[in-house]
Amino acid sequence: MKRSILDWIEHRTGLETLVRNFLYEEIPASAGWHQVLGSVALFCFLVQAFTGAMLAFNYAPTPGDAYNSVKYIMTELTGGRMIRGLHHWGASTMIVVVVLHMIQVFLWGAYKKPREATWVVGCVLLLLTLAFGLTGYLLPWDNRAYWGTVVTTQIAALAPGAGPYAVRLMGADGGVGVVTFSRFYALHTLLLPLGIVHLIAFHIYLVRKHGVAPAPGDEFRPRKRFFPEQVFKDTIAAFVAFAVIFTLTVAARVPLERLADPTDTTYIPRPDWYFLFLFQTLKFFEGPLEVIGAVILPNLAIACLFLVPFLDRTRVKRITQRGFAMSIVAIAAVGWSGLTAAAVSSTPKKVETSANGEPAVWAHLSPVELAGLGYFRKENCSACHSLGEGGTKIGPDLGSPRIRRDAKWMIAHFKNPQQLVPGSSMPPVRLLDDQLNALAAFVLKLTPNNASDLRSAPQPAVEGAMLYQQGRCGACHQINGSGVKLGPALNGLAQRRDKTWIKGHFADPQKFSPGTVMPPYKFSPRDLDRLTSYLLQM
């Protein structure tokens, strides 16, 4: 019966023959681990396609709603943070793998006749991969995405003659806005996927047509089959790539800053890590020379990449004999690493600021008030109460000027809502007294003018304030005038100490401040990072 079913499928579709031809293709005897990168790149693309589709189910493709939908995905949707993390880190991994694959092909000289077209299509796929990163950068619509895209459009405008047309094509001739967002979204989800799928299929066809490039002298050795040995190696490599993506997703936070603010001219934009070298290159060219670093040099490098198989017409040599190719790769790697490291080291510490350049509204809160916001979020109070969004929920809008009580009433209400407001559907808040006090302090701080800004306070800073309160740091230190002056005030700490010093001081205060009465603190790495980051932003 099984054979009859397979014969029926084969007769009508030819699938069995197609699969057999694919799996049992002959490959050179020298094929091995160094040729798994192409398959890993394909796997990374499939991860991006799957996670992108999952995100699209809950993503709202309009600027303001986009930010809120991403925030919803990360904070409320089951598995949402994981899916976005896989998509974010999968993009970086895919770029790394594609670049490594190009380097491997270059070093082995696998672009030579008759594989010139395979190399050219691979170059186009590299550019499309970078285009995915560029267009997807804007879609969260936070400050980081907005101002990074502003810089991108300004660079595009520098192109001689074509600059105005490029900016108009991106919908940014009147500034980055709804039109820019719509076009980047269409490119990222419609046109680029359509193009890359067809080019991947064409690239695989060309690889199959000309075969895997053998090492010199390998032509006379017995050939082997793609399945099972090479398939096993490709599968192991794909598993390792996914393990890296998953580890990054769990260990590293995907950035989401506050809602894009076109008036925040103090924001210092930075591109994603794989474009930092280009960002640093621009610093060497100023004024009229800026077009050289922004347009001429990058396009010249791209042109040279495409022309590699037509410039190098020598016979194929073993990799150990390709010293010139190795030198080119080494120089490029050193240049890229040096420029990227310089860009990272010159990046200023991030301090959340408001539109007028002053610290953001949340940064003016005392630690107990900011910790209260953390308990507000922890207890999911926003399910029933709005914060300056209007009274559309079950409970009253806490940013409304009509909501005015004292701390004693608030704490009693949290403990027993029915006693103070008969008929209330609010359940008792199960927090300790000092936590209830913090929650009441936050609610009492709310006004119609600050409620919406406080609602968007970054979660790492909020968690840092909660840890500050739990550690009773205010018994010795002051922040924003709140606390005791036994130890030094912590406002402006970033101008005096760096993150490494602060973390070391928590672990061993006597080593860094001999004679101090401060006890050592043993925080988890995540908690220590949250608390340190909070202190550096004060």
Any bridge partners for residue 482, and if so which?
479
Contact 279, 270 (CB under 8 A): yes
Residues 6+ apart with CB under 8 A from 289: none
Q: Residue 105 is part of which domain span?
A: 33-260
Q: What's the pLDDT at 350?
A: 55
Total residue length of the chain: 538
Would residue 338 count as lying in a domain?
A: no
Q: Is residue 190 located within the same domain as residue 68?
A: yes
CA distance 236 to 244: 13
Would residue 325 count as lying in a domain?
A: no
Q: What's the pLDDT at 311?
A: 92
Q: Is residue 84 located within the same domain as residue 207?
A: yes
Q: What's the pLDDT at 390?
A: 63
Any bridge partners for residue 479, and if so which?
482
Cα 352 to the chain's mean position, in Å? Answer: 18
CA distance 530 to 370: 13
Element (H, E) at 267: none
Amino acid at 12: R
Give first-to-last CA distance, the chain, whole Å.
Answer: 73
CATH code of residue 52: 1.20.810.10
CA distance 341 to 297: 20
Would residue 415 count as lying in a domain?
A: yes
Q: Is residue 369 located within the same domain as residue 240?
A: no
Q: Domain boundary residue among 228, 260, 292? A: 260
* Per-block mean pLDDT, blocks of 10 residues, the chain (538 long): 89 87 82 89 97 96 89 91 96 96 94 94 96 94 90 88 91 89 96 96 93 79 85 95 96 86 72 87 84 91 95 87 94 94 76 51 85 85 75 72 74 84 83 86 80 80 88 86 82 79 87 83 88 87
Q: Domain boundary residue among 209, 240, 260? A: 260
Would residue 392 count as lying in a domain?
A: yes
Q: Read off the DSSP letter of residue 215.
A: P
Q: Is residue 241 located within the same domain as residue 371?
A: no
Contact 195, 202 (CB under 8 A): no
Q: Is residue 374 located within the same domain as residue 255?
A: no
Would residue 524 count as lying in a domain?
A: yes
* Other Cβ atoms within 10 Å of 233 Cβ, number: 17
Any bridge partners for residue 353, and if so which?
359
CATH code of residue 506: 1.10.760.10
Contact 279, 343 (CB under 8 A): yes
Q: What is the 3-state secondary structure (H, E, C) of 146-212?
A: HHHHHHHHHHHCCCCCCHHHHHHHCCCCCCCCHHHHHHHHHHHHHHHHHHHHHHHHHHHHHHHHHCC
Q: What's the pLDDT at 525?
A: 87
Q: Is residue 374 located within the same domain as residue 250?
A: no
Q: Domain boundary residue among 260, 285, 309? A: 260
Q: How many domains does the chain have?
A: 2
Would residue 15 count as lying in a domain?
A: no
CA nearest to 71, candidates 101, 106, 519, 60: 60
Q: Is residue 255 located within the same domain as residue 385?
A: no
Would residue 288 count as lying in a domain?
A: no
Would residue 351 count as lying in a domain?
A: no
Angle at 295 between CA 292 and CA 300, to 5 degrees: 90
Coil/strand/helix, residue 27: strand
